[in-house]
Structure 1
Amino acid sequence: MGKAIENAYYRQLERRLFDMSALFDVSQALNSSLDLHAILDAILLTILGKHACNRGIILLRESDDLFTVNSLRGALHGIKIGFEIQIDLPAEEMFFFSDEIDFFRKNQLHLSILIRKNDRTIGLICLGKKVNGRSFDPSELEFLISLSNIASTSIENAQVYRQMKVLNRRLDWKLQELNSLFEVGEELNFGFDPDRILQVLALTLMGQMAISKCFVCSPCTKDDTKIDVTIKRGLGSKKINSEQLTKQGFRSLFSNLNDPIFVQRITKEEIRETCLNAGIFHLIPMQIKNVTKGILGVGAKFGDKTITPFPEDNLEYLKMLAAQTMIALENAQLFQLAVEKERIEKELEVAKNIQRSLLPSNNPKYPGFQISGFNISCFQVGGDYYDFIHLTDRCLGLAIGDVTGKGVPAALLMANMHAYLRSHVEYQTPVNEMISKINSSLHISTGTTGKFITFVYADLDVEKRELTYCNAGHNYPILFRNSGEKEYLDAGGLPLGMFPGAPYQAKTIQLHPGDLLTMYTDGVSEAWNRDENEYGEERLEALIKAHRKETADDLMKRILQDVANFSDGMRQTDDITIVLCKAL
């Protein structure tokens, strides 16, 4: 009896030594590797081999009650690596018999051992019954729990290593992305040709990301309710075109699309089906300062026959690439606008010089009179006009006019007016007849444009001291007599160019020493200040009356300075022209 007890004791001791040796060998094997699958397979094979189990799996925890299959052996029904299962674990037990759980029962997994690390369950070892049909005895359970404790450190280390590898791969990808974006950025910013920029984008998508097809669209510059497809690659001529996208309401996406979208998630059926039929699976916003100004559509990668969303890293890269392309396109547009603006400014400078050459370069000198004229254009070229025409040594033509409108169109009509006046003016020709001829010629030029000219022309006979004038719809010139009395020159007719054959009247007045004639355009009286008040005719007349004894040149300077002081630096929207004639 004593011998039997002694033998049993030695057998138990040998078994414990064997288990400890096995645990030591397994521990060395597990700690020598950081390959998670190799570690899990080694654990499972060790258990199945030592305890002769017919099947087993190892589950690793993903979240609170979600586990995934990471290693398996034996005949299991429909289970593969990556299979997910939700399990409500017992509170404190290191193992439990899992027959009551449907998943385990169906797959004949009888025993589950918890893998714990720092009082947290990180996985499960699930085993089927032993081949001999016996249950696990206490020493076997103790071995399994000891093995799970040893394995927990190796598993956690391997998981950390795997996460580091994933992070390193992501970091490498990010670096590649940044290098790619830097290189593409240099290409995009190399020139200012929109077609070249879009070609670089397409080549980058196909070359670096192996994307099989793509297109770019944006609102039409002439009509932003319409869509322009600016480039497409890998798509047929009938798939994805401007007219099609416009009809299907693609424009509405620009106000709503802030992040890349998988086309199957687009709610509008027409847009979704158009993209899918063309093989376009993602739409990427092309943004500047969070405003979507274009959309990049991309298809699957070469060789990929499935319709699946791209990984987040890919989508993030595409969004950055799209934004960089949109910035380059906007810079190209701004560059082209700057070039065009510079060209126009140069042409306007030439036009300004030409127009200046049409105005008198000097004030005329005639005995018994002081004559002064001045013009300021609010733009580079304008529609105001004045002229001094030497008819004879005793006769001078005075003219002032204002073309409707501003800028280049008004300047062109002003040039016509200059030509017509110079071609029709003749000494001793009745003033009203000349104005009538100019009116007919201008009407042919203006046609149905609705343009016209207000105009005053006067012949000054310095010997007789007579002024014969005709006012064609212009604001009335002011004549201050030496006594301070005021007269308006209102005889004439309609503005020039409105109606052919319109009648015009002329009137002759006598000028006496000290009399002062002021002709001006409405840019003077309508000059405005920061309070949006106009300079006004009353202020102008009061200024002239108070300083009418000054020379014509001094009075001209005083009027211009007073208008400037009143305006207080406000940019004016009309030309300013003044002609002064003072009898001595």
Structure 2
Amino acid sequence: MSSDTTPASYRYQEALAPLARRIDDPKVQKKLSEVLALLDFNSTLNRSLELPEILDLVLFVAMGETRAAWAGLLLRDGETKRLVPSARRGRGDERWASLDLPEPPAEPTISGVGDPSVSDWAKSVLTLTGSALLVPLVKSTRLVGVLLFGDRGEPYGEDDRLFAESLCVTAAASIDNGRIYKELQTLNRKLSLKVYQLDSLFDIARELNRSPDIQRVREVLMTNAMGHVLTTRAVLLHDGKVAEQRGFTLSPEERARLERVSRELSEIPEDQKVSELPEGALRDLLSGLELDTVVALRSGESSHGALLLGARAAGKSLAEEDRDFLRSLASQAAAALDNLRLTREWIEKQKIEKEMALAREIQARLLPDSEPGIEGWDIAGINIPCLTVGGDYFDYVPRGDDRHWLVIADVSGKGTGAALLMASVHAALHALAGIGDISLEGLTERLNEIVYSSTEVNRYVTAFFSTLDAKTGELVYLNAGHCYPLLLRTSGDVERLVKGGAVVGMLEELTVGAGKTKLEQGDLLVLYTDGLSETTNPAGEEFEDTGIIEVMRSCRGKASREIMARLVSGVRLYAAEAGLADDLTLMVVQRN
């Protein structure tokens, strides 16, 4: 066996080159030249994954063999699916970068000016780009883009088209690989930045937690915000006052104007660019101070103020990665400010502080801090406690093989006792999740034993346990005395998930049975606690599940988080001034 490691394409070129010099027939010479060009093209592609190099090579070979005055590449955008001008070589066109091209058909074909049958789409592209020949770049029946050839003074013959199609077969795969490689590079850079930011945040969190007073928290926040994203100026608003400013000086009038709008700024959701604020006095004020971004200082329900940042040192706006870091930093600082405030309150009101500390601990342990991220599903949950502590709970627990537990529960009573029992339920649930493939009946019975043996007679838990198969949409469930989850079908019918048994922890022995249903695309499932359905209006009338269904019907087709927000705002509006009288917990489930 030969040990020669030279690529086959090189050996073919070496073998064909002498033959090319001995052939006199121009047509054969041209064919051989095209073959050599394609071999050289393939050889060169094997040495590079950089997309710009691949695009330039495709255009170089295309023009070299066809003698086109110019050549260009339109690549399909992964999100919009439209063709976008991506590379051009040869004669320039100032309109090229701004071309707005129609969406391509599923299977475009090679088309040229003067062809007897050309699709309307191909005619439009040829006209808009001023090209003479259009050749699709297709990989495994998927359109990657289009290769365009400019005019060359004579029509493109069959041989030219055959060469162009052969070139595009190889080019499509290489371009697709180059785009994937570019995406991976971008993701790696973002991942590296995220790792660096997380390391920084851990260090900052330790420093914030050791900060002895509010002034030190402010200094840590300002120093790290400006140092990390290289902003040129910053203002910190805290408790309605300009607490600190760096990089420039505020006049007394500017300071007063900022303090007047401090409440409005602190209520801005998370962070927002100044240029995206509604037109008006607030936007004009911040723009006049050359401030670029507003980051709210918020920890849970507490709002402390806002961090106002200028553009980066080079004059560029903050990148999304910078804004992510600032959101996390502001949240850490707000949490530190919360801790300092609660410490002061503990000195004055020790009993209240103990309850608050317990509430924070329970909240951190019980509730998910993000959506479950199940592929093919849009799931969102929220918990809104009525008092400092509460007994409502929801969770997502992965079970393997694309199965997930979706759980919502409500402990009887309120306050510290309810929160402690729910913490025990949470711990038991996760412990049972680790012992293997336990059924929902087995899970409920084991939880009943734990709650019954460890609580007072008047303590119990209503709960809804379910196992979602993310592949099939099958939902096996068990309702233990809980509010009936509502499943709104695409047909408009409403299914209440009622099968199950008695509440957990009231009886020594519990007999339960699971139910089963299936969620199809377009179906909408809402799990909730009685804090939603039993909220009353000023007339004493409950919201009930009819109110929930009405909101669900009005939100068909919207994202789960938006539906959740609509339900919360709807029940708050229903309650009017009285507000929520009980803990409110929601989970919205949809199949994408």
TM-score calculated relative to the size of structure 1: 0.51
Q: Supply the distance in 2 between the matched residues of 1:327 and 1:244 (Cα, whole angstroms).
A: 27
Counterpart in 1 of 2:299? 288
Aligned partners of 1:66 and 1:84 also within 8 Å: no
The alpha carbon displacement at 1:175 in A equals 0.4
Change (3 A) 1:158 1:239: farther
Counterpart in 1 of 2:247? 234
The amino acid that maps onto 2:283 is: R
1:59 aligns with 2:74: yes
Change (3 A) 1:60 1:281: same
What percent identity do the matched residue pairs reach? 24
The amino acid that maps onto 1:252 is: E
Match for 2:209 among 170, 189, 205?
189
Change (3 A) 1:240 1:150: farther
Change (3 A) 1:271 1:240: farther
Change (3 A) 1:287 1:324: same
Alignment of 1:283-432 (within 5 A): 283-304=294-315, 308=317, 310-338=318-346
Counterpart in 1 of 2:60? 45
The alpha carbon displacement at 1:293 in A equals 2.8
Match for 2:264 among 252, 255, 258?
252
Match for 1:20 among 32, 35, 60?
35
Q: Supply the distance in 1 between the matched residues of 2:234 and 2:137 (Cα, whole angstroms).
A: 49
The alpha carbon displacement at 1:246 in A equals 4.2
Match for 1:97 among 95, 101, 112?
112
1:207 aligns with 2:227: yes
The alpha carbon displacement at 1:156 in A equals 1.1
SS in structure 1 at match of 2:210: coil
The alpha carbon displacement at 1:136 in A equals 0.9
1:273 aligns with 2:293: no
Deviations, residues 115-162 of structure 1 (Å, cap 9, x unaligned)? 0011111111111111xx111110110000000001111111111110
Q: Supply the distance in 2 between the matched residues of 1:90 and 1:8 (Cα, whole angstroms).
A: 43
Change (3 A) 1:41 1:121: same
Change (3 A) 1:265 1:20: same
Q: Supply the distance in 2 between the matched residues of 1:84 and 1:166 (Cα, whole angstroms).
A: 26
Aligned partners of 2:237 and 2:259 also within 8 Å: no
Counterpart in 2 of 1:71? 87
Aligned partners of 1:240 and 1:274 also within 8 Å: no
Counterpart in 2 of 1:33? 48
Deviations, residues 411-444 of structure 1 (Å, cap 9, x unaligned)? xxxxxxxxxxxxxxxxxxxxxxxxxxxxxxxxxx
Counterpart in 2 of 1:121? 143
Deviations, residues 446-500 of structure 1 (Å, cap 9, x unaligned)? xxxxxxxxxxxxxxxxxxxxxxxxxxxxxxxxxxxxxxxxxxxxxxxxxxxxxxx
Q: Supply the distance in 2 between the matched residues of 1:59 and 1:22 (Cα, whole angstroms).
A: 22
Aligned partners of 2:101 and 2:125 also within 8 Å: no
Q: Supply the distance in 1 between the matched residues of 2:35 and 2:172 (Cα, whole angstroms).
A: 17
The amino acid that maps onto 2:207 is: E
Counterpart in 2 of 1:151? 171
Q: Supply the distance in 2 between the matched residues of 1:243 and 1:90 (Cα, whole angstroms).
A: 59
Deviations, residues 389-408 of structure 1 (Å, cap 9, x unaligned)? xxxxxxxxxxxxxxxxxxxx
Matched residue count? 321
SS in structure 1 at match of 2:56: helix
Aligned partners of 1:115 and 1:125 also within 8 Å: yes
Deviations, residues 515-542 of structure 1 (Å, cap 9, x unaligned)? xxxxxxxxxxxxxxxxxxxxxxxxxxxx
1:108 aligns with 2:123: no
Aligned partners of 2:237 and 2:307 also within 8 Å: yes
SS in structure 1 at match of 2:334: helix
Alignment of 1:421-570 (within 5 A): none
The alpha carbon displacement at 1:106 in A equals 5.6
Change (3 A) 1:93 1:185: closer
Q: Gaps spanning 5+ residues in structure 1: where?
A: 1-6, 220-226, 343-584
The alpha carbon displacement at 1:33 in A equals 0.6
Match for 2:187 among 156, 163, 167?
167
SS in structure 1 at match of 2:335: helix
Change (3 A) 1:303 1:312: closer
Q: Supply the distance in 1 between the matched residues of 2:100 and 2:244 (Cα, whole angstroms).
A: 47
The amino acid that maps onto 1:85 is: D
Deviations, residues 64-117 of structure 1 (Å, cap 9, x unaligned)? 55222221112333246x645323435544311268756643653111111001
The alpha carbon displacement at 1:57 in A equals 1.0
Q: Supply the distance in 2 between the matched residues of 1:111 and 1:268 (Cα, whole angstroms).
A: 48
Q: Gaps spanning 5+ residues in structure 2: where?
A: 1-21, 115-121, 351-592
Q: Supply the distance in 2 between the matched residues of 1:32 and 1:161 (Cα, whole angstroms).
A: 13
The amino acid that maps onto 1:129 is: D
